[in-house]
Structure 1
Amino acid sequence: MNSARVLDAPWLKSGPAARVLALLNDRGEEARVIGGAVRNMLLGIPTGDIDIATTALPNEVIRRAKVAGIKSVPTGIEHGTVTLVVDAHPFEITTLREDTETFGRKAKVAFGRDWVGDANRRDFTINALSVDQAGVVYDYVDGLPDIAARRVRFIGEPARRIEEDYLRILRFFRIHAAFGAGEVDRAGYLACIAARTGLAALSAERVRMEVLKLLIADGAIGVAAAMAEGGFLQAIFGGVAYTGPLASMIAAERELGLEADAIRRLAALAVAVTEDARRLATRLRLSNAEAKRLDAMGHRWWRLAGMDEARAKQRLYRLGEETYRDRLLLAWARAGGHTDPAPWREFATLPQRWSAPKFPLKAADFIARGIAEGPTLGHVLTLAEDAWLAANFPLDPGSLASIVDQTVARVTRDRQ
């Protein structure tokens, strides 16, 4: 064990987390912060959720919380997990345990008091570190050297860890994309390839969660390339993956100062036509909003290539700001690095420089010219709007009157 590292984290000494640790570090029991929060502290990045492991049994955790006036929720009590809520901050408290039998996401567990055994049942070395309230780091699996090297490595035999839970294949790639550096661990990569067919046993919701998190990670480009080479993306998406456009999409987002967007990146990686978007929506069980957005991006995105400013304004008016930007960025990503980025940048920032006016003509303008209410009136309004767009959105009375007169004359001529 390597426990020479001591962390100076103020929230271990005071605040909600310190209160929970003090509650559980008493009368023969011990509690430590474990997992991602420790990893993130060592990497110098925000901790996010703080999970705590304890020797105390779940019922004892609940009993102590009740005495201290702390709300407890038995979120996974059959696996030893109780959530305590302190000052609106939730903390997952899990009793030390070991798996006596594993099958997929489910496992039979036995509670215990063995910190070493608990560490060895986890997935990756960098996720198995724990820290006590004094800031002492406990490392039973050589996680500290892997933290220093930013290496994501399975604990023990990779094949065995994966067989326990096939979701660990996706977690291997996602965690490397978020926290790793360089190429993925070779032994882990080969084990994932050997177990690739196990992905079919995973729920679409679980796959969706891991894929979308991976796509917004800093290392998404390199990891996506490794996954494509290993045949994982074909298995997940059921279609072709385009790693080049993904890299171009990420570059475009960064150039425009946009936040990383998982759905936009998914489109760049796996959507060439709307049929791709619909297949992904089913395979990943996307939300209705996500599916609709992906479908909108895939619809004739190529029409936004080679525009002039007048046509760009018409597209922005028709599509709305979000869909216009999404579809334009997909077209830009598909064009790759082979075109001048300046026009793409100009068109992408058009919504910040220009707001589309509201179509000023009304049904009454045409009824006054003798067009009766009904289907013909709707058709006339559509033709007039098209003419207004082609004329570059005029608002002066003379131009609008001319559009009305020409549209009425056209419809009258067609009806004769």
Structure 2
Amino acid sequence: MKLEGEISKNFYALFTPELNKLSELFQKYNYEMRMAGGAVRDLLMGIQPADVDFASNATPTQLKEMFEKEEIRMLHKRGEEHGTITCRINEKENFEITTLRIDVVCDGRRAEVRFTEDWKEDAFRRDLTINSLFLGLDGTVYDYTGGIKDIELHRVAFVGDPVQRIQEDYLRILRYFRFYGRIAKEPNLHESKTIEAISKNKQGLGNVSGERIWMEFKKIVVGRFAADIMDQMLKVCKLYAQLGLEENSCNLDEFRRVYEASLHHPTYSLEPMTVLSTCLADFDGVQRFHDRAKLSNAEKHLAEFIVEHRTEALKNKENIRFFQDLLMDEIFLYGFREPGSQERVILNMVELMKYIESPLQMHSEIKEWVKPEFHINGITLMNAGVKKGPTVNAIRQHLYLLWKKSGYKMSTEELLTHIDDEIPAPVKPKAPKPRKRNLT
């Protein structure tokens, strides 16, 4: 099949001077190079690909020899054991080229590979039919697995036997659901043999690293059909344990509410942890998921923040003063002084507002609010006669709460008249102490 019409125009728009030079180089040395995988799929769907990967019948050794002879710089040479060489043309553009290969030994996480010159063999070791297409630089599409028809049908299917494909790399379970969200026309048209293969082989997903799990999972929870796909993954396939979630804590109705609310507001998008917080009941749940998914500090803190405050925030969803006070409390209690940390607190606040569906204008209000400054510190108090020691922080917190109650209007002089008040026990933060560090 040859590309035609608008698709052909999009294809040739990819040809930079650097790609033309690379193509000429492969012709000179009598090697073949084709576009592979996702870029071909996207072009056939009318989507201009953001990244293009290439496959070749040249071995890594042959690629290196060719580039060395032509004095072309190579990057990331460690990839050659898996068949991938990255070159930089004209010091402008990088190209990743992978030798055709067969997965010889697979343990469900990684594979030992053997290089081949057979394009069909390489196609049949890939995960999904829609990802196993090749596109020659003359515009010819090579389809060995039925990928073109599946793109036309918006069908997501494993190449060949789904059990075999999954057992080669269990992460393909999540890749299936991610691409289903991107490709399918309807949310619940999964093929029974595919779901059965996933359900029977789900335990293998538990051996996949948390970083790889989260990389796929975070795209699923904010992608198309996310609520229906989560129902399929959790209610039907029971992937709770493999994903670091607890069945009793996963409120999928709440997940659907938060996710679908975001669809009504195209001006903003949800952070993955915002919507996934619906499946985390408390700090222990956040920690369990973090242990599995290896979240960044910012992601973990966002989940903790939502879990801690969502109940009270829901009661005050239209009360901007509640969110202003909460923002001030976060800054005062946890002392976020690192560069960018206060901005992160504001972002967390906005995500909480999205979670509970606060009016959209309040999101802008909290971002633009000019925060008042609390000028009382330990030195101020000691200069006012407070003895150095643990009472300093207790008095400072007491004065801060008085200041907040006044709408942040009491002056420093007025506040200092209260240093001899009966001081209540300091408010202790509910969240774990690590929240106060590494927030960026």
**Shared topology, TM-score over 0.5?**
yes
Listed one character per residue, the Cα deviations across residues 215-271 of structure 1 (whole Å, up to 9, x for unaligned) are 232332222121122212343223133333333333444527223422223223x22
Alignment correspondent of 2:371: 356
Alignment correspondent of 1:338: none
Query: SS at the partner of 1:294?
Result: helix
Q: CA deviation at 1:124?
A: 0.6
Using a 3 Å threshold, how does the CA distance of structure 1 residues 22 and 190 change in structure 2: closer, same or farther? farther
Deviates more, 1:124-133 or 1:147-156: 147-156
C-alpha contact 2:31 2:56 (8 A) present in aligned 1: yes
Query: SS at the partner of 2:315?
Result: coil
Q: CA deviation at 1:328?
A: 6.5
Q: CA deviation at 1:327?
A: 5.5
The separation in 1 between residues aligned to 2:99 and 2:246, in whole angstroms, is 42
Using a 3 Å threshold, how does the CA distance of structure 1 residues 410 and 74 change in structure 2: closer, same or farther? same
Tell whether 2:122 aligns with 1:122. Answer: no
Counterpart amino acid of residue 413 in structure 2: A
Counterpart amino acid of residue 280 in structure 2: V
Q: CA deviation at 1:202?
A: 1.4
Unaligned runs of 5+ in 2: 331-341, 426-440
Alignment correspondent of 2:23: 21
Tell whether 2:190 aligns with 1:185. Answer: yes
Tell whether 2:207 aligns with 1:201. Answer: yes
1:316 to 327, 348, 355: 327
C-alpha contact 1:249 1:329 (8 A) present in aligned 2: no
Tell whether 2:143 aligns with 1:139. Answer: yes
1:79 to 82, 88, 97: 82
Alignment correspondent of 1:326: 348
C-alpha contact 2:231 2:252 (8 A) present in aligned 1: yes
C-alpha contact 2:395 2:423 (8 A) present in aligned 1: no
1:70 to 58, 72, 94: 72
Query: SS at the partner of 1:181?
Result: coil
Q: CA deviation at 1:274?
A: 1.1
The separation in 1 between residues aligned to 2:363 and 2:184, in whole angstroms, is 32
Using a 3 Å threshold, how does the CA distance of structure 1 residues 349 and 272 change in structure 2: closer, same or farther? farther
Q: What's the RMSD between the two structures over aligned residues?
A: 2.7
Q: CA deviation at 1:325?
A: 5.2
Listed one character per residue, the Cα deviations across residues 248-305 of structure 1 (whole Å, up to 9, x for unaligned) are 333444527223422223223x222111111100011223333233223322431222
The separation in 1 between residues aligned to 2:54 and 2:115, in whole angstroms, is 15
C-alpha contact 1:81 1:95 (8 A) present in aligned 2: yes
The separation in 2 between residues aligned to 1:252 and 1:220, in whole angstroms, is 12
Aligned residue pairs total: 400
Listed one character per residue, the Cα deviations across residues 52-74 of structure 1 (whole Å, up to 9, x for unaligned) are 11111111111112223322232
Using a 3 Å threshold, how does the CA distance of structure 1 residues 118 and 365 change in structure 2: closer, same or farther? closer
Alignment correspondent of 1:292: 301
Alignment correspondent of 2:220: 214
Using a 3 Å threshold, how does the CA distance of structure 1 residues 17 and 248 change in structure 2: closer, same or farther? farther
The separation in 1 between residues aligned to 2:14 and 2:397, in whole angstroms, is 65
Deviates more, 1:376-385 or 1:386-395: 376-385
Counterpart amino acid of residue 238 in structure 2: G
The separation in 1 between residues aligned to 2:375 and 2:275, in whole angstroms, is 37
Q: CA deviation at 1:409?
A: 4.0
Which runs of structure 2 are paired with 1:245-260 in the superposition (5 Å)?
Answer: 245-254=254-263, 255=265, 257-260=267-270
Unaligned runs of 5+ in 1: 336-340
The separation in 2 between residues aligned to 1:214 and 1:88, in whole angstroms, is 33
Listed one character per residue, the Cα deviations across residues 4-35 of structure 1 (whole Å, up to 9, x for unaligned) are 43433234533333333332233332110100
Alignment correspondent of 1:265: 275
Counterpart amino acid of residue 302 in structure 1: T
Tell whether 2:3 aligns with 1:5. Answer: yes
2:392 to 355, 365, 377: 377
Tell whether 2:245 aligns with 1:238. Answer: yes
Query: SS at the partner of 2:407?
Result: coil
TM-score, with length taken from structure 1: 0.86
The separation in 1 between residues aligned to 2:220 and 2:46, in whole angstroms, is 20
Query: SS at the partner of 1:52?
Result: strand
Using a 3 Å threshold, how does the CA distance of structure 1 residues 363 and 58 change in structure 2: closer, same or farther? closer
C-alpha contact 1:18 1:133 (8 A) present in aligned 2: no
TM-score, with length taken from structure 2: 0.82
Listed one character per residue, the Cα deviations across residues 67-102 of structure 1 (whole Å, up to 9, x for unaligned) are 233222323222221122234533221111223333
Q: CA deviation at 1:108?
A: 3.3
Deviates more, 1:37-46 or 1:9-18: 9-18
The separation in 2 between residues aligned to 1:329 and 1:99, in whole angstroms, is 43
Using a 3 Å threshold, how does the CA distance of structure 1 residues 142 and 367 change in structure 2: closer, same or farther? same
C-alpha contact 1:55 1:113 (8 A) present in aligned 2: yes
C-alpha contact 1:273 1:300 (8 A) present in aligned 2: no
